[in-house]
Chain A
Amino acid sequence: MKKVFGRPHSLKTSVFHYCPGCGHSIAHRITCEVIDELNIRGITIGVPPAGCAVLAYFYFDVDMIEAPHGRGPAMATGIKRVLPDRVVFSYQGDGDLTAIGIAESFHAANRGENITVIFINNAVYGMTGGQLAPTTMLGQKTTTSPLGRNASLDGYPVKLSELLVPLPGTTYIERCAVNSPANILKAKKAIKKAFQCQMEGNGFSLVEILSPCPTNWKMSAVDSCKWIDEVMTKVFPLGVIKDTPAAGKKTGKTEKEENAG
């Protein structure tokens, strides 16, 4: 009989610790499917964040090293510069990438580091129990914005993907969601494209994934998926944000060769 569906080889058999309805497990799975399809399991090195996905190494069957909170892009930079022929990705949440680690994200992007960032945006700090994130919606209630996010006190939702567009070092940026089968397929395609972009030496690629967090949104899983469509995508519209593969094209030279001119 023809096998039409199975567990990706690069996804371990451990049971996810994520809450019911969480988008992390979907994002993990489609990333692993991409790793399988590109046949890069053996040359991939992942950098999980601090946050809900801190235990990603229990799920991804690729080499991984944990980074302190927000430092994923810096750590990925160190790895990729030493091992330029490996596929290096960091997997980060909104607090990790757009708050404490925004300097590392911005500058890795600006250097055009040939790495891929998988950016999970769930508009909230998940692991610590639902506090305000830079990506929290205006009016959204969190444990640290109990009356709803107030722009004059808490600022506005940070649109990091758009912020990275003007940087010449960034080549492929897309915002996706994992709230419906169609969106999940699109997200997988985007991740594949981002990895391919890296494998071709095009420079910094990032896939932002709007991801449900029913526990901290205090909604059912179904309502969470709806909320992404009805609320989140109004501020964070889905689609390709930047696709200029040639822009940051790496020469493929070593630093020694570059140095010699």
Chain B
Amino acid sequence: MNKVLMQGNNVIAEAAIRAGCRFYAGYPITPQNELCEYMAEHIRKVEGGVFIQSESEIAAINMVAGASAAGVRAMTSSSSPGISLKQEGISSMAACELPGVIVNIMRGGPGLGNIRPSQGDYFQATRGGGHGDYRVIVLAPATCQELADLTMDAFDLADNYRTPAMILADGMMGQMMEPVVFKEPKRRQYPERYMLKGAGEGKSRFIKGLILDQSDMEEHNWKLDRKYQVIMKNETRFEVYRAEDAELMIVAYGTAARIAKGAVKRLGDSNLKVGLFRPITLWPYPSSELREFSRKIKNFIVFEMSTGQMLEDVRLALQGFADIDFYGRPGGVVPTPAELANVIIHRYKKSSKKKELC
């Protein structure tokens, strides 16, 4: 497969179609419109492909739930305010154990916020997002190539664990263009027995999330939790960069991690020893992998395009074994690698001074 130059939003749509997505429903919202538009043009060209521009985000996610139950790979996409609307349906899909992929191309918030790239939806994405005791698998790509790869993986993960999976990117990822190579998708392995296609001559089945008996509901919660424990054990992903002799480590994901990588590169010629830890799965969070680094490294800087949300997961992961500093640019501001590099230099010196004082 040749390299193609494509915009992030289009990459997600193309990767989804290649991964066998045959149902897309969505509602226009900036900065993810190109995804919706690409689907409108291309998914119907494929046998069995369905595109619906829904009346709302709420309708879109419920159409996806219906299509998923009917047995196809289904996806919806939106940006922050629209994802809030989808939460009812995502919670319902988690309860009913329906696979499906949700794409969030985050923008500034809260409220209508703005249409600039932001990372303010981390809490919403990684804590389930809707009501009830559940989690959503969250993948955070940092390049267009990863948008392609992780979108395909999201469908596999959603199927394997029969649960919704989310691509959490931001307006920067959605709007940028980069060369991409689409890998060969895996064959879908999703048992017919989970699909609702009419009972035929056999026994009828139903899919439901309403469990009125509290002990049955408790058991359902534990059943979901056992599944989440398996996901936590098997599916964490992360990348480390220049961590070998690092004395200070930046923790960042998505666009922020790209900026951080640029900053770390810039500092490569200096005598500062800075590394980068980039979680690729935000839930499950690569906590123990991050904690491992605190054996050697005692200073961490969390960098996010928010006022500090992943920061809490880093604190939970490091359990007080290292100092954690935070640098955030919320509201749609995208700092340059040079700006971040300056912040790193400043804090690095502060931490070395502290060390000398000890």
Contact = CB atoms under 8 A, between A and B. Distances in A.
**Chain B residues touching A, majority SS:** mixed
A66 B206 contact: yes
Contacts of A111: 52
A103 B201 contact: no
A103 B46 contact: no
Contacts of B65: 65, 67, 75, 78
Interface in B173-210: 196-202, 204-210
Contacts of B204: 41, 60-64
B6 interface: no
Given A65-B196, A81-B23, A83-B198, A74 B58 contact: yes
A16 B204 CA distance: 18
Given A66-B206, A66-B209, A254-B48, A78 B63 contact: yes
A104 B199 contact: no
Interface string A234-261: 0000000000000000000011101100
Nearest to A73: B59
A82 B204 CA distance: 19
Contact of A86 (B54, B67, B96, B197): B197
Most buried by B among A65, A258, A259: A65
Contacts of A75: 62-63, 65-66, 69
B70 interface: yes
Contact of B196 (A54, A61, A79): A79
Contacts of B23: 78, 81-82
B66 A62 contact: no
B44 A258 contact: yes
Contacts of A227: none
Interface in B55-73: 55-56, 58-60, 62-72
Interface string A107-144: 10001000000000000000000000000000000000
Contacts of B63: 74-75, 77-78, 81
Given A63-B206, A65-B207, A81-B50, A44 B55 contact: no
B88 interface: yes
Contacts of B108: none
Nearest to A110: B55
Contacts of B72: 82
B67 A81 contact: yes
A62 B44 CA distance: 30
A87 to B, nearest CB: 8
Interface string A70-102: 010011111101110010000000000000000
A45 interface: yes
Contacts of A67: 62, 65-66, 92
A45 B22 contact: no
Interface in B265-299: none
A43 interface: yes
A63 B196 contact: yes
Interface in A28-60: 41-45, 47, 50, 54-55, 57, 60
A61 B55 CA distance: 32
Contacts of B88: 68, 71
Contact of A104 (B44, B59, B208): B59
B62 A104 contact: yes
Contact of A77 (B52, B196, B199, B207): B52
B89 interface: yes
B199 A256 contact: no
Given A74-B58, A103-B55, A64 B207 contact: yes
A61 B204 CA distance: 6
B49 interface: yes
Contact of A62 (B51, B96, B198): B198
Interface in B194-231: 196-202, 204-210
B304 to A, nearest CB: 32
Contacts of A86: 197-198
Contacts of B47: 254, 256
A169 B297 CA distance: 65
A67 B54 CA distance: 16
B48 A65 contact: no
Most buried by A among B55, B62, B201: B62
B346 interface: no
A255 B209 contact: no
Most buried by A among B68, B74, B197, B201: B197
B344 interface: no
7 A-B pairs with the lowest CB-CB distances in the bound complex, closest first: A78-B66, A57-B206, A107-B55, A74-B62, A78-B63, A75-B66, A78-B67
Given A78-B66, A107-B54, 7 more contacts: A63-B196, A66-B206, A67-B65, A68-B89, A77-B59, A79-B70, A259-B44
29 contacts: A41-B204, A42-B201, A42-B202, A43-B198, A45-B196, A45-B197, A55-B210, A61-B199, A62-B198, A62-B204, A64-B204, A65-B196, A65-B207, A66-B207, A71-B88, A74-B63, A74-B66, A75-B65, A77-B59, A78-B63, A78-B65, A79-B196, A81-B67, A82-B22, A103-B59, A111-B52, A255-B50, A258-B44, A259-B45
